[in-house]
Structure 1
Amino acid sequence: MATDIKDSVHAVEAAAVMGLLPARPRLLALGEPTHGEDTLLDLRNELFRQLVEHEGYRTIAIESDCLRGLVVDDYVTSSGTDTLDEVMEHGFSHGFGASAANRELVRWMRAYNDGRPASEQLRFAGFDGPLEITGAASPRQALTALHGYLSARVDADLLPCTGETLDRLLGADDRWTNPDAMMDPAQSVGQSAEAAQLRLLADDLVALLDTRIPHLITTASREDGDRARLYGRTATGLLRYHYWMADTSPARMTRLCALRDLMMAHNLLAIAARCPALVHAHNSHLQRPKSAMQMWQGPVEWWSAGALVSAQLGEEYAFVATALGTIRHQGVDTPPPDTVEGLLYALPEDRCVIDAPRLTAALGDTRPAPRVSPWFGYAPLAPAHLADIDGLLFVKDVPQS
C-alpha cells in the first residue's frame, strides 16, 4: 500500500495543486485544522505568492472580519493612512493580527503593489462576518455606512429613514455586544421592537441600492459599489444573527452556526465575481460535507460556507484540506498508524501535497480509523471526507511558532 500512496505525493507548490484540478478555479480554498500556527500560514503565504506570479490570482481572502479586512485592503493598495502596526491591530479579528506570518503577508502585498496600476494590484479580504463564538458586533458600522453611501447619491425622499432614526434605533453598541447573550438568549436585543424595525430598514436600504445600480455605476466607482453591497450583506446578516441569538429553541446554535457560514458564503461569492482568489480558513468552514461541532448544549451540524459555495460554483470551487502529524506543544503527538494522518506520517516527506482521489483509490477497501485529538483546538481529518476534497496538504510536524 505504501508504494501506491507514494504515487499520490507531490511537492508543496502551486503548480502541483493546480495539476490536481480540471481547470483554474475562481475560488481555491485552502483549509487548516487548527488556528494560530505560523508554520501553516507561512506555507499559505508561499502558495499565494506562486499563485500570484504564475496563475494570475490577485486576491487572498481569510477567515477574518469582513469589515476590518477593509483596513488591510486599504493599506496594501496604499489608499489608507494607517501604519502597518495599526493595520495589524485593527484590520484582523480572532487575534489573527498578532501573527508574524499574517504581518509578513500584508507587508509583502503592499510591496508587490507598489508602482503597479490598480488593475494589477493584489487585494485583501476578510470573509467572516463581524462575529466571534462569544457574540456578534453591533450592526451600526454596516448600517450607517450603507445609509451614508446612499444618502450621498440618491434623492432624500427615496431613503426609508434618516441617519438620526438609525442612531436612535441602534442605541448603545454594548446592548448588541453583551457577551452574556450567547449563553442566555434573554439578554439578546435581537428580537426587540427596535431590532425588528432595523431589519425592515436594512432590507429597504439594500433594495434601494439594488434598484439604483444603473445610476450608481455611472456616478461612483465600482470599488465604492462593492463596498456598499458588502455593508448591505453585513447589516442584514448581523441583524438576522442577532434575531436568532434571542431564540430559545433547541435549534438555536445549529441556526447560528449555519447563519455565520451563510454570511461567509455570500462574501466569498462576491469575491469570486471579481477575480480568482485564494481562500484560507479552518477546514470546517471550507469542506463540502456537513460540518459538526460538540457544543455546550450538544452536537451541532450545519453546511459550511464551502459547501454552499461549491453548490453554486461547481468546478470553479476547489478545496485543499490541510492535515497534520504532530503539534507537540499542544499535546498532539505521533498519529496512530491506522489513521489517515498516521499513513501519511510514515512517508519520508516533511510536507507534501497529496492527490486525494488517488490516495482514496490506493486505500481501496481499507478504512482508516478516525484520529482522536487530545486538544480541543485541533480537528483531525475525517476519513469519510477524503472523497470530497480535491487535494490534501500534509505537514508532518508543526513546531511552536
Structure 2
Amino acid sequence: MTATIQDAARPFTGGALTALLSPATRLLGLGEPTHGVEAFPELRNEFFRHLVEHEGYRSIALESDCLSALVADAYVADGTATLDDAMNRGFSHGFGASPANRELLRWMRAHNEQRPPHERLRFYGFDGPLEITGAAPPRPALTALHDYLAAHLDLPRNRATLDELLGPDERWTNPAAMMDPAQSIGGTPETGKLRLIADDLSALLTAHAPHLTAATSPDDFWHAELHARTATGLLRYHAAMADTAPTRVGALMSLRDAMMADNLDAIVRREARFGPTLVFAHNAHLQRHQGRLDFAGTPLQWWSAGAIMGTRLGDQYAFAASTFGTRGSDVPHPDTLEGLLSPLPHPRTVIDPARLTTTLTRTPTPRTPADHTYVPLDPTATDQMDAIVFVKEI
C-alpha cells in the first residue's frame, strides 16, 4: 500500500503534537512563519494550556525583550500592577498590541492566583533589548548589575564613572546607526572601556556567586546574571554595529541569536526544578539548520538560537515549525511544500516530518514569499524538524 501525505497528518491537538516529541524534552520551540498573524499565537495559547495541564510545563518564553518581560512576569506571578500595564511595558517589537498575548497573560495570572509560588507559571522574554531600528542603550542593564554588586562588594569603579562613559542615551539609540556604521557609538573609546568594565563585573558576579546568592536570594542572583548577559551582549552588539566589513549585517544577526540562546540556556537551568519550557518565536530563530538570507545582494548565513540550543541540549531540545497555505491572494504553488499540504482536510494539522518524507517522490520546490515578513519552510530541512504544524488558511 502506497503511503500518502494523509498518513503523516493528524488534526491539530496538543496531544498529537507532543506525541512526536522526545520524552526527554526540556525546551520545546514552537515557531511561527510570520509575525502579526493572530492565528499563530492563538494556536500557541491553546498548545501551552495543554502543556501546562497535561505535560508538566511551567514556563513560556517569547521572542521579546528579556528585561521588559520582567514586568509581564511580575504581573503573571504575583499580580503586580495591572494587565494593561503588563501589556504596555512588558513586551517589545509591538507584541503588546496582540490580543493573543493579552489573553496569554490573563490566563497565566488566573492560573497562578490560587497556587503556591513553586507551582506558578513564569513568563520570560528571551530576545535582547533590540529592535529593527537598532539596539537599546546598555545603561539599565549595566547600572543594575553594578548596583547589585556594589551593595555587597568593594568595586574599583563607582556609578559616576559609568555615567560619564555612557553619556546621553541618545548616542546609543541613533536609528541611522543601523545602516551607517559611522553613526554608531560602538567604535568609540568609551564603548571599549565599558565593554571591559561589563566583562569585569560579570566575572565578579561569577566569582562571588555563593556569597551573593546567600546574601540576597537565588532569584535576585538570577536577575543579576540576566543584567550581566544583557549588558555585555548589548555592548558587543553596538561594537558590531560600528564594523564596516561587508559581513556586518550577518554578524549582527549571529550576535542576536547568540544572545537569545544564552537567555534560553539560563531559563532552562532556572526552570529545571519545575518543568519544561515552551519557547515561541519566528521559525528562523528556532530552527536547527543554518539560516540564509540575501541582503542587498550579499548572501548571509548564521546559526539560530535553536541550532545553538540543540547543540547544548541534544534531544532535550525539540522544534515544531509552523507554516500556512493560503493568505488572501497568496496561494502556494502545488509543487511547494505548502501546496502539497493544502489539500489536507483539517483547518490545522500536525505533520510527522519523518513520515512525510517517505511519501514524497522528490523534494518540493521552495515557496516564493509574497512579502518580506514571511519566511517559508525550507523543504530540504524537514529532517531537522520534530513536527510541522500546518494552518490551511490565515
Distance, in Å, in 2 between the alignment partners of 1:292 and 1:321 is: 17
Q: 1:170-196 deviations in whole A, cap 9, x for unaligned?
A: 110010010000111011011111111
Q: 1:195-246 deviations in whole A, cap 9, x for unaligned?
A: 1110000001000000111112212221111111010000000000000100
- Other structure's SS at 2:201 match: helix
- Counterparts of 1:290-309 in structure 2 under 5 Å? 290-296=290-296, 298-309=298-309
CA RMSD of aligned residues (A): 1.3
Single out whichever of 82-91 and 122-131 deviates more from structure 2: 82-91
- Other structure's SS at 1:289 match: coil
Q: Give the aligned partner of residue 103 of structure 2.
A: 104
Q: Give the aligned partner of residue 174 of structure 2.
A: 178
Distance, in Å, in 1 between the alignment partners of 2:342 and 2:177 is: 43
Q: Give the aligned partner of residue 285 of structure 1.
A: 285
Instruction: Output the amino acid matched with 2:136.
Output: A
The answer (yes or no) to whether the contact 1:169–1:198 under 8 Å persists in 2 is yes
Say whether 1:64 aligns with 2:78.
no
Instruction: Output the amino acid matched with 2:83.
Output: L
Q: Give the aligned partner of residue 254 of structure 1.
A: 250
What is the Cα deviation at residue 2 of structure 1? 8.7
Instruction: Output the amino acid matched with 1:296.
Output: A
The answer (yes or no) to whether the contact 2:29–2:318 under 8 Å persists in 1 is yes
- Other structure's SS at 1:337 match: coil
Distance, in Å, in 2 between the alignment partners of 1:188 and 1:22 is: 45
Distance, in Å, in 1 between the alignment partners of 2:242 and 2:269 is: 34
What is the Cα deviation at residue 8 of structure 1? 1.2
Say whether 1:187 aligns with 2:183.
yes
Say whether 1:230 aligns with 2:226.
yes
Q: Give the aligned partner of residue 265 of structure 1.
A: 261
Q: Give the aligned partner of residue 341 of structure 1.
A: 338
Distance, in Å, in 2 between the alignment partners of 1:306 and 1:172 is: 35
Distance, in Å, in 1 between the alignment partners of 2:296 and 2:78 is: 44
Q: Give the aligned partner of residue 322 of structure 2.
A: 322
Q: 1:30-49 deviations in whole A, cap 9, x for unaligned?
A: 00110011111110001000
Distance, in Å, in 2 between the alignment partners of 1:65 and 1:135 is: 13
Q: Which runs of 5+ in 2 are unaligned?
A: none
Q: Give the aligned partner of residue 143 of structure 1.
A: 142
What is the Cα deviation at residue 354 of structure 1? 0.6
Distance, in Å, in 2 between the alignment partners of 1:227 and 1:345 is: 45
The answer (yes or no) to whether the contact 1:77–1:121 under 8 Å persists in 2 is yes
- Other structure's SS at 1:383 match: coil
Say whether 1:389 aligns with 2:385.
yes
Q: 1:54-73 deviations in whole A, cap 9, x for unaligned?
A: 11101100100111011100
What is the Cα deviation at residue 153 of structure 1? 2.1
Instruction: Output the amino acid matched with 1:180.
Output: A
TM-score normalized with structure 2 length: 0.97
TM-score normalized with structure 1 length: 0.95
Q: Which runs of 5+ in 1 are unaligned?
A: none
What is the Cα deviation at residue 148 of structure 1? 1.2
Aligned-residue sequence identity (percent) comes to 56
- Other structure's SS at 1:240 match: helix
Q: Give the aligned partner of residue 54 of structure 1.
A: 54
Instruction: Output the amino acid matched with 1:177.
Output: T
Single out whichever of 289-298 and 26-35 deviates more from structure 2: 289-298
